[in-house]
Amino acid sequence: MLILHGHAVCSGAAVGRLRFYRHGRVSAQLRHVEDAGQEIERLRHALSRAEQELEDLAENAGEQEAAEIMELHRMMLADKDFRAAMEGRIREKGIAAENAVLEASAEFEALFSTMDDEYMRARSADVRDVSARLVRILTGAVAGGLDTSVPVIVAADDLAPSETVQMDKSRILAFVTMFGSPNSHTAILSGILGVPAIVQLGTDLLPEFDGKLAAVDGDSGTLYIDPDEETVAMIRQKQEDSQRIRQELESFRTKESRTGSGISVRVCANISTPEDLRAAVENGAEGIGLFRSEFLYMESGQRPDEDRQAMIYRRVLKEMGGRRTVVRTIDLGADKGAEWLKLPHEENPALGCRGIRLCFSRPELLHEQLRALYRASPSGDLAILFPMVTSCGEVKRLREMARQVREELRMEEIPFREDVPLGVMIETPAAALISRDLAREADFFSIGTNDLIQYTLAADRQNPHVEQYWDPYHPAVRELIRITAQAAREAGISAAVCGELAADPKLTEYFISLGIHELSVSPPQILPLRRHICSLP
């Protein structure tokens, strides 16, 4: 039995086979390493494995031509200049082996592709191919998707939100990754699914473990490979314990979330896809406090058109049966991309063209989404929420876009609700600091603590190296929340919290004391939070 320790992200326990996720395209998130020597060793190990693979392929290749190509690839891997380019990058830039491979590959591809000789020009594809093999070995990827017909423990170097959202959820027992941040959207998605998750298990989580039996303890952040009987029994016991706790919570499903002194707090659900709705309803959500609609744009590999969106929003509104459903307009950009969007490369994507900024540069995206939302609005109690706001001017512009859409629908005689509230996410320090002014433009606030922490403390939520600076209890964060809540109270509009902090029982009383009476959390967190609220004086 091998025991690996990582950072626990979502609690729970699981036993099952490990299956390495196969990234569809060869890519790797930029990662810096502390020990370049060790990383070079990792690269050399991958090079030997790639050579071995190619030798086996050459031996088993039926055709002479295929065998020759494999042999050529082997020679490329042995090429001194190519190796020096990769190792040099690790040494000089302190980047991970897979990043160095991709960079060196791009350099050599460019070199070959400009050569006069046609044969040499064609070699650039071979460089790409052989580099892809190396990256796959280094990251544990093989070739696209989650190849399994039974539920498995999904392993990966790291997972992009667009990859996680595309997986068949019924086949996921747990997530375990080599790298990754506990505050990332991938971590949030596992919270919504309610499956245990561990990040930062390191490179000891070898792709060779694919297919092995494993046990996950999502409370302590421990992964057991080839667990012994005693460990399996311990994990099974944990599963039974959490099952029992869930049954105990069952009585809170239909209860009102009310403190002993009679203060009511609406406990709503955060969802990412319509599939999460079932979990929201089953867990007794009093509404949808945050529908991260951008995942609709990431799950199918193509842009969902207006009709499809309208149909999805209608379905969500109907299933919520009159309970308030807050749909956030697309918050694409930063870590949330989609191939078809062709987002330009940005040095600091979290500070870049994200959320409404992307919508201002590509207004057709928001226009189409607003049309779909308004068309669906007669089906329930819809509210629209705008992400990444930093100024009143932006909100005025967004309201104007919404007004134009209403005007269009009126002309086209398409029914819609006039009174759909338009809210603002308070997730930048700027928005919190001007919340008094924003309260005149917005119908409600929703405080996105995940980004509010990231931007206030200048700590990238994707970057595990600055995790210690990502302090949810920092007084600056509290102050911004306090300012926002006060502005909302004075203006007579509501302020909810929809970031992950909403589920933190240590803060519930604080939020209530500020007059915040709506908390929106992942579906599995609804009942524990409701029980906690009911236990308060």
Q: Is 183 annotated as a binding residue?
A: no
501's tokens: 């902090």
310's tokens: 């309208």
Residue pair 349/388 in contact by the 8 Å Cβ criterion: no
288 to 317, contacts with ligand PEP by CB under 6 A? 290, 292
Whichever of 207 and 448 has its CB closer to ligand PEP, that residue is: 448
Among 276, 335, 381, 427, interactor with Mg ion by CB under 5 A: 427
For 294-428, where are the alpha helices, taking DSSP H only?
294-298, 306-319, 356-361, 363-376, 392-411
**Which region among 58-66, 314-322, 410-418, 443-451 touches ligand PEP (by CB under 6 A)?**
443-451
Minimum separation from the CB atom of position 430 to ligand PEP (A): 14
Q: Is 292 annotated as a binding residue?
A: yes
Question: How many other β-carbons are positioned within 10 Å of the β-carbon of residue 128?
Answer: 17
- The catalytic position among 23, 73, 185, 532 is 185
State yes or no: residue 329 binds ligand PEP (CB under 6 A).
no
Whichever of 222 and 390 has its CB closer to ligand PEP, that residue is: 390
Query: Mapping DSSP to helix (H, G, I), strand (E, B) and coil, where does residue 69 land?
Result: helix
Q: Is 427 annotated as a binding residue?
A: yes
392 is catalytic: no
Sign of the Cα torsion 130, 135, 140, 145 reads: negative
State yes or no: residue 423 binds ligand PEP (CB under 6 A).
no
State yes or no: residue 273 binds ligand PEP (CB under 6 A).
no
Using CA atoms, how far residue 193 sits from 152, 271, 425, 426, 475, in Å, is 14, 10, 24, 25, 31
Residue 295 to residue 273: CA distance in whole angstroms:
6
> Residue length, the chain?
537
State yes or no: residue 499 binds ligand PEP (CB under 6 A).
yes
Whichever of 203 and 449 has its CB closer to ligand PEP, that residue is: 449
432 to 491, contacts with Mg ion by CB under 5 A? 448, 451
- The catalytic position among 268, 353, 359, 498 is 498
Minimum separation from the CB atom of position 302 to ligand PEP (A): 22
Give the residue from 317, 267, 173, 154 showing the smallest Cα distance to 523: 267
Bridge pairing between strands 152-156 and 172-177: parallel
> Residue 258, exposed/middle/buried by CB under 10 A (0-12, 13-18, 19+)?
middle
Among 394, 427, 460, 504, interactor with ligand PEP by CB under 6 A: 427
Element (H, E) at 267: strand 266-271
449 binds, among Mg ion, ligand PEP, none (CB under 5 to 8 A by kind): ligand PEP
Residue 353 to residue 348: CA distance in whole angstroms:
9
Minimum separation from the CB atom of position 449 to ligand PEP (A): 5
Q: Is 328 annotated as a binding residue?
A: yes
368 binds, among ligand PEP, Mg ion, none (CB under 5 to 8 A by kind): none
Whichever of 15 and 503 has its CB closer to Mg ion, that residue is: 503
Minimum separation from the CB atom of position 312 to ligand PEP (A): 18
State yes or no: residue 504 binds Mg ion (CB under 5 A).
no
Give the residue from 233, 268, 454, 260 showing the smallest Cα distance to 351: 454
507 binds, among ligand PEP, Mg ion, none (CB under 5 to 8 A by kind): none
498 is catalytic: yes
For 79-214, where are the alpha helices, taking DSSP H only?
80-93, 97-113, 118-139, 161-166, 185-193
Minimum separation from the CB atom of position 452 to Mg ion (A): 8
Minimum separation from the CB atom of position 496 to Mg ion (A): 13
Whichever of 97 and 330 has its CB closer to Mg ion, that residue is: 330
292 binds, among Mg ion, ligand PEP, none (CB under 5 to 8 A by kind): ligand PEP
Q: Is 451 annotated as a binding residue?
A: yes
State yes or no: residue 161 binds Mg ion (CB under 5 A).
no
Among 103, 163, 451, 460, interactor with ligand PEP by CB under 6 A: 451
287 to 346, contacts with Mg ion by CB under 5 A? none
Bridge pairing between strands 197-199 and 213-217: unpaired
Bridge pairing between strands 518-521 and 494-497: parallel
Give the residue from 470, 475, 468, 448 showing the smallest Cα distance to 458: 470
Strand ranges across the sheet with 152-156? 2-5, 222-225, 213-217, 13-20, 152-156, 172-177, 197-199, 7-10
Measured in degrees and rounded to the nearest 5, phi and psi for residue 404 equal -65, -40
State yes or no: residue 287 binds ligand PEP (CB under 6 A).
no
Minimum separation from the CB atom of position 449 to Mg ion (A): 9
Whichever of 180 and 499 has its CB closer to ligand PEP, that residue is: 499
**Which region among 53-61, 110-118, 216-224, 442-450 touches ligand PEP (by CB under 6 A)?**
442-450
Query: Mapping DSSP to helix (H, G, I), strand (E, B) and coil, where does residue 276 land?
Result: helix
499 binds, among ligand PEP, Mg ion, none (CB under 5 to 8 A by kind): ligand PEP
Residue 494 to residue 42: CA distance in whole angstroms:
53
Residue 195 to residue 35: CA distance in whole angstroms:
33
Residue pair 416/423 in contact by the 8 Å Cβ criterion: no
> Residue 305, exposed/middle/buried by CB under 10 A (0-12, 13-18, 19+)?
exposed
Whichever of 448 and 464 has its CB closer to Mg ion, that residue is: 448
For binding to Mg ion (CB under 5 A), which residues are involved? 427, 448, 451
Residue set of the binding site for phosphoenolpyruvate = 292, 328, 450-451, 461
Active site residues: 185, 498
**Could you tell me which residues are annotated as the binding site?**
292, 328, 427, 450-451, 461
Binding residue ranges for Mg(2+): 427, 451
- Return residues touching ligand PEP (CB under 6 A): 188, 290, 292, 331, 427, 448-451, 498-499
